[in-house]
Amino acid sequence: MIGESATDIKKLLNTTSDCLESIKNLDIDLGSILIIHIITEKLDKVTRRAWELKVSSDSKEELPTFDDLKEFLVNRFRALENLETRVERVPNTTRALHVVKDKGVSCAFCAGEHRISSCPKFINESTETRRNFVLKNKLCFICLLSNHSVKFCKNTFKCQVCKRRHHTLLHSQGVFGSEVGEGSSAARAESSSVTYEGNRDANKAEGSKPHVVSCLATGSRKTVLLATALVKAESRNGTYHTVRALLDQGSQGSFVTEALVQYLGLKKKPSKNKVVGVGDKGTTSTAVVVINLHSRINPSFQIKVNAYVLKSVTSLLPSAKVARLEWVDLNDNDMADPEYFIPNRIDVLLGAEVYSQVIQHGVKKNANGTLLAQETTLGWVLSAQMGGAFFG
């Protein structure tokens, strides 16, 4: 119905009544069908698929009833309980043998007879060192154990600082949103003109050239403001977390830190790519992920980004704290990164493909042209060389 109409209302009522009469004549229990639909919508994919297979293979011509579904679910949870009980018995035996053999817990950091979470040497290290050690040794970001990853961790503890799902000893700025790691305020952004050579195709044609990723770089002599933005990244369980991104129109690819991938529980797809910096200094990315990003400024805007996984994208940006800039017609609510003037971690580098999709028409410059504000769907981003001519 488009507008208020007596004819349309009458037609709707008559059609509904005719349908209900037809269903009554077929002797169908509408209540049972509705309940089955509601319950099956709440089932996990594996259980729901098993139910659909049971219904399709049933020799009965009648529609399934609630009693049929109830019987199926009872048998299902009993079978799962039996399986879980058997699985739990094996690790318990293994742990007991391990304790007898090793005579205690061994610290992964110093090999002492204590847990790494209570290791004095580990605790005295900087946040950056602790995080890098956990990543390198593939420890869980929540409990710091080595026999599982974050998504399989059953530990219910949360960070005492931000109340999110990671160990308090790994809390730092960027992914987890609070303090900057010790000794990192003087860090400078490394030159990030890079090349990556993908081998996604096994039979790569001869003579094909590597893709070149050219990113803006800063040195230690001058502080440069680059286009940073706070965006919402979707985790594997559907929750959103604020992360810090660098927009780089000169980059042919997008990159994400291993720490963020683990924190969000994203599924990694193997894809070995060589990343080379200036002077042929490089590293290797062994995986690619798909990240779903949402704008904080424009809730209706979202974008899926294919990003190569790296240990780190760049050092803190800006490289040093700068004076906060005052704009007559721009406030914190307009800014893509309201704390652009404070050195913070970069979690994601968004390349030219993403840049072209977020860029808008608005452009603002200060009186002497040394500072540029560019409108994007993520908010207004700033680019400038502090204390000198404009750099962008």
pLDDT digits (tens, 9 = 90+) for 297-352: 888 999 999 998 988 888 788 877 777 777 657 788 888 998 888 888 899 999 88
What pLDDT, on a 0 to 100 scale, did the predictor assign at position 375?
A: 92
Structure tokens at 236: 């594997």
Digit-coded pLDDT (tens) for 261-308: 999 999 999 887 876 654 556 677 889 999 999 999 888 999 999 998
239 or 225: which carries more pLDDT confidence?
A: 239
Neighbours of 250 (CB within 10 A): 15
CA distance 50 to 325: 60
Q: Which residue has the higher pLDDT, 10 or 192?
A: 10
pLDDT at 196 over 80: no
| Closest residue by Cα to residue 381 from 213, 291, 249, 290 | 249
pLDDT tens per residue across span 60-109 = 667 788 888 888 888 887 777 777 555 444 444 434 333 333 345 688 89
- Among 312, 357, 30, smallest CA distance to 174 is for 312
φ and ψ at residue 118, rounded to 5 degrees: -115, 15
Query: Which of the two residues, 153 and 304, has the higher pLDDT score?
Result: 304
Length of the chain: 392
Residue 60, pLDDT score: 64
Please give the Cα distance from 165 to 140 (Å, whole number). Answer: 11
SS (H, E, C) the chain: CCCCCHHHHHHHHHHHHHHHHHHHHCCCCHHHHHHHHHHHHCCCHHHHHHHHHHHHHCCCCCCCCHHHHHHHHHHHHHHHHHHHHHHHHHHHHHHHHHHHHHCCCCCCCCCCCCCHHHCHHHHHCCHHHHHHHHHHCCCCCCCCCCCCCHHHCCCCCCCCCCCCCCCHHHCCCCCCCCCCCCCCCCCCCCCCEEEEEECCCCCCCCCCCCEEEECCCCCCCCCEECCEEEEEEECCCCCEEEEEEEECCCCCCEEEEHHHHHHHCCCCEEEEEEEECHHHCEEEEEEEEEEEEEECCCCCCEEEEEEEEECCCCCCECCCCCCCCCCCCCCCCCECCCCCCCCECCCEEECHHHHHHHEEEEEEECCCCCEEEEEECCEEEEEEECCCCCCC
Q: Are 230 and 336 in contact (CB under 8 A)?
A: yes
Tell me the per-residue pLDDT of 23-48, one tens digit each, with 9 for 90 and over.
Answer: 666 666 667 778 888 888 888 888 88
Q: Give domain limits for the chain.
A: 13-56+63-104, 122-170, 193-199+210-385
pTM beyond 0.85: the answer is no
Q: Name the architecture of domain 193-199+210-385.
A: Beta Barrel (2.40)
**Least confident interval from 54-63, 122-131, 182-191:** 182-191
Does the pLDDT of residue 209 top 60, yes or no?
Answer: no
Give tens-digit pLDDT for 118-136.
Answer: 787 888 788 878 888 988 8
